[in-house]
Amino acid sequence: MALPHQHWISPEEYLEIDGASDVKYEYDSGHIYAMAGGTQDHARIAYNMANLLDAYLANKPCRFFQSDVKVQVTEDKYYYPDVTVTCNPEDIKGNLDVIHAPRLVVEVLSPSTENKDRGRKLRAYQMCDSIEECVLISTREQAVEIYRRMPAADILRVPRGGWTYQQYGPGENVELVSIGLVFPIEALYRLTDVPEQEAD
């Protein structure tokens, strides 16, 4: 859950506040939002995603980061995705606290954040030129949604422009095309109480 801090501030002020605080803040168009805690299922799903990436990326040039590292999505938007992958060497330096060229962002959906994650944040992620995939993971049922940026050659042939959508459910393999990783969806939900399907 994000809790708003009301008055307008500049990106520079935001970075100073966030860097000096024990609380993590996201920044969106002049406003900052304190990040609140989530459920055990939320934390476990993010951890499972990170473990899958850790094993897969071990000998590759890309790196993953959990929600302790913020991502600059546009000039006036900084977010803390649950998991981020970058393949840009300029982002992979131990003393940095901002990723500027994410390739993949993952949001684990919570009831308190789902509308924002599906709305304003998703649109902002799609404005970031380096992001190739946006992954939304449900905590209500075993479901993963992926928005993928289309190759430039295909965009002109699609009337609604540059992104495709794919959903995965129980028993299926999830494919992260941007990094070439495929894994069973149940690996994300290991040791959680998330049902295969949400009860009616």
Domains of the chain, by residue range, sit at: 39-187
Q: DSSP code of 35?
A: E
pLDDT > 90 in the chain, percent: 77
What pLDDT, in 10s, does the model give residues 138-147? 999 999 999 9
Burial of 162 (0-12, 13-18, 19+ CB in 10 A): middle
pLDDT at 88 over 70: yes
- The model's confidence at residue 14, banded by pLDDT at 50, 70 and 90, is very high
Task: Name the pTM for this structure.
Answer: 0.90
Give the pLDDT mean for 50-74.
Answer: 95
pLDDT for 176: 98
Residue 152 is predicted with a pLDDT of 66
Mean pLDDT, the chain, integer: 91
Maximum distance among all Cα pairs of the chain, rounded to whole angstroms = 48
Res 194 pLDDT > 50:
yes
Alpha-carbon distance of 28 to 150, in angstroms, equals 26
Q: Which residue has the higher pLDDT, 114 or 49?
A: 49
Burial 97-117 (b: 16+ CB within 10 A, else e): eebebbbbbbbbbbeebeebb
Q: 98 with 65: CB under 8 angstroms? A: no
**Architecture of the domain delimited by 39-187:** Alpha-Beta Complex (3.90)
Q: How far, in Å, CA of 155 to CA of 99, rounded? A: 26
Model confidence at 38, pLDDT cuts 50, 70, 90, reads confident
Confidence of residue 161 (pLDDT cuts 50, 70, 90): low
d(CA 138, CA 31): 27
